[in-house]
Amino acid sequence: GAVVSQHPSRVICKSGTSVKIECRSLDFQATTMFWYRQFPKQSLMLMATSNEGSKATYEQGVEKDKFLINHASLTLSTLTVTSAHPEDSSFYICSARVEGGPINEQFFGPGTRLTVL
């Protein structure tokens, strides 16, 4: 149980284009999902908290107009990197929190490797 998927696993795009990454909780509902980015040999940096049916909460320094988050259902959140540039190249990982009960763990997706040329 508690499986999170991401699609695509890897994407290469040209500078200036937009890229959408999907995060799905496969066997549970998730009112709250989280989006992280990770640079090589570094830890995970939280970008935003995605809330089903409401606006995402962005961490300080993260441009909300550049990283658009939509959480339209209890099993799907999307991250769109708009007008991507080479500096946006990174490993993007989502996680989901199991709703209800005492469990507070986040379960992570396999990640999406974004390369912007």
Partner 1 sequence: EDQVTQSPEALRLQEGESSSLNCSYTVSGLRGLFWYRQDPGKGPEFLFTLYSAGEEKEKERLKATLTKKESFLHITAPKPEDSATYLCAVQLTSGTYKYIFGTGTRLKVLA
Q: Which of 13, 57, 62, 82 binds partner 1 (CB under 8 A)?
A: 57
Residue 60 near partner 1 by CB under 8 A: no
Other beta carbons within 10 angstroms of residue 85's beta carbon come to 11
> Considering CB under 8 A, how many residues would be counted as binding partner 1?
27
**What binding mask, one character per residue, do residues 25-54 give for partner 1 by CB under 8 A, x or -?**
-------x-x------xxxxxx--x-----
Burial of 84 (0-12, 13-18, 19+ CB in 10 A): buried
Residue 62 near partner 1 by CB under 8 A: no
Q: Which of 88, 90, 107, 114 binds partner 1 (CB under 8 A)?
A: 107
13, 19 contact by CB (below 8 A): yes
Residue 29 CB, shortest distance to partner 1, in Å, is 15
Q: What single DSSP character describes residue 99? A: P
Other beta carbons within 10 angstroms of residue 104's beta carbon come to 7
Q: What does the alpha-carbon distance between residue 30 and residue 83 come to, in Å, rounded to a whole number?
A: 29
Binding footprint of partner 1 on the chain (CB under 8 A):
2, 4, 6, 32, 34, 41-46, 49, 57, 91, 93, 95, 97, 103-111, 113
